Amino acid sequence: MNWFGAVRTASGGMLRHTVQAVVLGMVLLVSTASATLGLTLLAANDGPFQRAFNAQDGAHLSVTVDPARAGWARLAATRNAPGVTAMAGPFGEATVQSQFGGQPFGQLALVGRPSPGGPVDDVVPDGGRWVSGPGQIVLNGTPGGGGPVVGSKLVITGLPHPVTLTVVGFASSITNTADGWIAPAEVADLQGPGTAPSAQLLYRFAGAGTAAQVRADLAEVTGALPPGTVTGAGSWLAAESQNTSNGAIMEPFVVAFALIGLAMAVLIVANVVSGAVAAGYYRIGVLKSIGLTPAQVVVAYLSRVGGPALAGCALGVVAGNLLAVPVLHQSADAYGVGSQQVPWWASVLAPTGMLVLTVLAAFGPALRAGRLSATQAIAAGRAPNAGRGYAAYRLAARLRLPRPVGMGLAAPFARPARTLVSVAAIAFGATAVIFAFGLSASLGRAAGIQTLSATVPVQIQQDGPGGGPNQVPTAAQDAAVTAALRAQPGTAHQTVVYFNGVKAPGVAGNVNAWAFGGDSSWIGYGVITGHWYDAPGQVDVNTAFLNASGLSVGDTAIIDTGTAQVTVHIVGEVFHPSSDPAVYGSTQTLPGLAAPANVLQCDVGLRPGTDTAGYVQAVNNALGGNSPWGATTQKDGGTFYTVAVSLVGLLALMVAIAAGLGVLNTVLMTTRDRVHDLGIFKALGMRPGQMLTMVVCWMAGPAVMAAAIAAPVAVALNTATVHAMAGTAHTGVPASITQVFPPSRLALLSLAALAIAVAGALAPASWAARARPAVALRTE
Amino acid sequence: MIDSSAPGDVIRLDGVTKTYQGGGPPALADVSMGVAAGEVVAVMGPSGSGKSTLLNLIAGLDRPSAGTVTVTGRRIDALGESALARFRARHIGIIFQFFNLLEDLTVEDNVLLPAQLAGASRRQARTRADELLARMGIAEHRNAYPARMSGGQRQRVAIARALVNRPAVLLADEPTGALDTATGQEIGRLLRELNEGGQTLVLVTHDPELAERYAARTVRIVDGRLAGIPAGVCR
């Protein structure tokens, strides 16, 4: 037999150990898939906006112009303006009021574009198709969430005759250059009577990295057109700031899960591979006795695990790529970047890393096998190290527990190293599960606090059918809102909210001020420190305000509302994730804000048992078709929270599956080690159910230990992650957001460790329970 | 076919054939035999003749490919795995050539285990174990681990363990095969004493002297078939 022939014969055994080969392959599959996904997410999280902006030729500048002043040809000629590297447009633009399902759907900026592509602002389709003619619309964003879907009808109001548009698709613009796209020919029909025509020009410039550069670029474009042509402009830097902030919020938990997944994959793969190699000692011993050299032994060992490992890694990278598709779709939504792809290096690095890890894990036992004499190898392969765990068995025998349970609980002490690996695997899995539940709860609470959806289920906003751009409601229209709300029996609270910019010494730029006309204590803003204002002269501020001003809760500040300078006492820090400083107080405390032009909305609280949808319908009916006001339902959380929670769930599931596979492998190895003992148990009358119980109980002790580790780690991880996320969102965190683990819930969630252990142990336990005693006794 | 069974046997095999997966000749072919209550039957034959297979089938450790196995009046080949395990725990004691003691349990815990698996009360099991350990002469080793005991002592532990549930049938597979001659004789005498107390015993052995000295009847198996029954002891 030649050198490699002997190796081939020696390593052929793995194929006969089907179960172990399958487990090894599965572990590497899940680990590689997790690693691919983890690396992909880390990459997706690394400057997602900038990469997507470049890939989609995002517009550095979006300019709104009056085409009547310059003419279409002159507008198009601005592509030759200094610094312009690419231009798209001019596209006709119309700003309209819309309704969906009979309810106000808000103001939409619609742009007529013949196709989604082009030299600038390559719009990424996300379901459906592009418009092919009048009567159709492609909405910016993604379908679902109770909003329109493909086939839905939007009614454009405020026109002499309402126009119905059918939603034919969804798409995303990296800088949100429009709320929707329509056929170019339809733009004129949607521009209301008396409204000046409008068009959009999209530019990319040679230099647009700073606000000053963008301002200079805008000046070049403006200068190339007749005076008064440019009516508005939007910089890409604003979109970048918003999206980068979103992305940064995701980073802490994505990194946390990626690290948990990778660490566990390393641990489990090392354990599975070394276990698989050690399982072959007997065979190698026999082959050495008939002449296999140490070098051949090492190669045989490595090739023994090589096949299943290669198959697992190959399938894993495919699975990772497939899993990444929906995950990246969600993360692209959260980042608002249209689309994201699996980087090629993740598909190379993940399987390569796992293979290297496999070889490293196998190399030690292989080397040891190579050095062992034939008789030592045979002995090592036939019997596990004896002498450990006897005291545990003795103690278990004294406990008043069913004997299979006692025997099962004592078993882990016989193989402490293997048990520690199990504890670690289960702890990783349980940590991920508990952390996922905690983070979901924290994000849910943050969403609830931020959107106030629980306390303010209905808002009256200026997007009613009678509204229009820059239109201030009349006093009569405002009074009609108050009357309509009072007439509804379901109204529990109503508070008018005014919004405007104010100045505060020490804070650069404007401070966003919310002034409440009436009792606002019921609205339920999340207070981080201090309390919600309850007297004139008191205000609450957000974290960004405190950071910018250097003030603290308890300090006083001077606020210039434009009509008066008032000294206010800061009594609380509220949860408001934003880098913009904000102040909250009554209209009494912030004089001048309670002007009609500053009315933002009316927050409405409902009596218990009131049907929100019915209430909204009734209010809108009462307001009629000509009111600029419309009642809308507040939803739980925004896209970011929805995406984050589903991402957290998926990542936790993957980690838990990998942990379960780790347990399965450990139990499988232990079952093989103890197959003869299992035969004896059966010969002595152990029933299949008792056998199942005993084998499952092998993992009960490690599961309890893992739960004891995982619970505090997950709580700490959740708190740290939420604070890290909040830090990137420029806000502190109310205690209620992190205090999501009451002892009863934590105890319940800790059962995840037991669930992972039982799920992983069940299959080999069933095999052990089903095995014929005579077969088990013969197998040594 | 040679049939050595008779009505009223505590063990009855009727037309039992056992074929293992992978083909080849049957390990047992159309075997019918019986063992009366209180009888000692030695099963002899060369290596690979089917002796251990026969014992496994009587113990319910394996299932026949054809035929029926009845022990204490119950068709054990028709029982489900749980019922079979329960039956084995209560009615059958097994002694193995290499003792098959659980190395991580003390002598006492080894002996107690079948009783505990069968659901005996703690007090009853302990009383019975104490009695057997004393009877086997190993009471002072109750807290020892099997690995530290001699072969003869280990086989005594195995016998005590096999008897803890007062089984109707005691099966011994080469009980002296791993022992020196003197210790083997000691174990043989112990088995005979048990039989004198009414214990039914099936003894698989290579050792003609052991069979002749302690068994009332010898059954010979060659190539999976009953080869014949010596005059004077056949039924």
Cα dihedral B132, B138, B144, B146 in deg (nearest 10): -80
Cβ within 8 Å, pair A687-B82: yes
Give the pLDDT score at A144: 61
Query: Does A53 map to a domain?
Result: no
Residues A546 and A399 grouped into a single domain = no
Mean of the per-residue pLDDT values of chain A: 80
Query: Does A59 map to a domain?
Result: no
CA gap A259, A42 in Å, rounded: 10
Residues A209 and A297 grouped into a single domain = no
Q: Which residue of A has its CA nearest to B91?
A: A685
Q: Which of A348, A367, A382 is the last residue of a domain?
A: A382
pLDDT band at A6 (very low <50, low <70, confident <90, very high): low
Note the pLDDT tens digit of each residue in A217-267.
878 878 877 877 777 777 777 667 655 555 556 667 767 776 776 677 777
Cβ within 8 Å, pair B122-A400: yes
Lowest mean pLDDT among A41-50, A675-684, B122-131: A41-50
Residues of B with Cβ-Cβ distance to A677 under 8 angstroms: 102
Tokens coding A164? 């119905």
Residues A589 and A713 grouped into a single domain = no
Ramachandran category for residue A699: left, alpha or beta (phi over 0 → left; psi -120 to 50 → alpha): alpha
Q: Which residue of B has its CA nearest to A402?
A: B116
Residues of A with Cβ-Cβ distance to B101 under 8 angstroms: 680
Give the pLDDT score at A2: 60
Cβ within 8 Å, pair A686-B63: no
Give the pLDDT score at B232: 35
Residues A408 and A539 grouped into a single domain = no
For B:78-107, CB contacts with A below 8 A are: 81-82, 85-86, 88-90, 94, 96, 100-106
Of A66-70, A419-423, A590-594, B218-222, give the range with the top mean pLDDT: B218-222
DSSP H helices, A186-293, are 187-190, 211-223, 236-278, 281-289
Residues A598 and A492 grouped into a single domain = yes
Ordered structural domains, chain B, with CATH? 3-228 (3.40.50.300)
CB-based contact, B117 to chain A, within 8 Å? yes
Give the pLDDT score at B231: 35
CB-based contact, B65 to chain A, within 8 Å? no
Residues A306 and A320 grouped into a single domain = yes
CA gap A226, A586 in Å, rounded: 46
CA gap A748, A739 in Å, rounded: 16
pLDDT band at A278 (very low <50, low <70, confident <90, very high): low
Note the pLDDT tens digit of each residue in A367-388.
777 777 767 766 666 555 556 7
Instruction: Provide the 10 A C-beta neighbour count for residue A487.
Output: 11
β-pair partners for A200: A64, A91
**Residue B70: DSSP 8-state:** E
Give the pLDDT score at B233: 39
ipTM of this predicted complex? 0.83
Mean pLDDT across the stretch B218-235?
A: 68
CA gap B132, B111 in Å, rounded: 9
Query: Does A755 map to a domain?
Result: yes
Cβ within 8 Å, pair A687-B81: yes
Residues A537 and A610 grouped into a single domain = yes
pLDDT band at B205 (very low <50, low <70, confident <90, very high): confident
Note the pLDDT tens digit of each residue in B53-106.
999 899 988 889 999 999 999 999 999 888 888 898 889 999 988 888 888 888
**Residue A556: DSSP 8-state:** E
Note the pLDDT tens digit of each residue in A428-486.
889 988 988 888 888 888 877 877 878 888 888 876 555 554 556 777 778 888 888 88
Residues A196 and A257 grouped into a single domain = no
Q: Would the pLDDT of A638 be above 60?
A: no
Give the pLDDT score at A755: 92
Query: Does A62 map to a domain?
Result: no
Residues of B with Cβ-Cβ distance to A773 under 8 angstroms: 56, 61-62
Positive or negative, the CA dihedral A461, A465, A471, A477 is negative
Residues of B with Cβ-Cβ distance to A690 under 8 angstroms: 85, 117
Query: Does A313 map to a domain?
Result: yes
Note the pLDDT tens digit of each residue in A644-654.
777 778 778 87
Global pTM reads 0.71
HEC-encoded secondary structure of A461-508: ECCCCCCCCCCCCCHHHHHHHHHHHHHCCCEEEEEEEEEEEEECCCCC
Structural domain of residue A593, as residue ranges?
Answer: 458-634
Q: Which of A634, A649, A664 is the last residue of a domain?
A: A634
Q: Which residue of B has its CA nearest to A676?
A: B100
Q: Would the pLDDT of A720 be above 80?
A: yes
Residues A630 and A679 grouped into a single domain = no
**Residue A184: DSSP 8-state:** G
A464 vs B52, residue with greater confidence: B52
Give the pLDDT score at A331: 66
Residues of A with Cβ-Cβ distance to B58 under 8 angstroms: none
Chain A residues with CB under 8 Å of a chain B CB are 386, 389-390, 393-394, 397, 400, 403-404, 410, 414, 676-677, 679-690, 769-770, 772-775, 777
Residues of B with Cβ-Cβ distance to A681 under 8 angstroms: 113, 117
CB–CB of A464/A628 below 8 Å? yes
- Count structural domains, chain A: 4
Query: Does A51 map to a domain?
Result: no
Q: Which of A172, A202, A228 is the last residue of a domain?
A: A228
Query: Does A234 map to a domain?
Result: no
Residues A203 and A322 grouped into a single domain = no
Residues A11 and A27 grouped into a single domain = yes
Q: Which helix (H) or strand (E) holds A773?
A: helix A773-778
CB-based contact, B145 to chain A, within 8 Å? yes
CB–CB of A740/A442 below 8 Å? yes
Residues of B with Cβ-Cβ distance to A684 under 8 angstroms: 88-89, 94, 113-114, 117, 161
Residues A411 and A338 grouped into a single domain = no
Query: Does A86 map to a domain?
Result: yes
Residues of B with Cβ-Cβ distance to A685 under 8 angstroms: 85-86, 88-90, 114, 117-118, 165
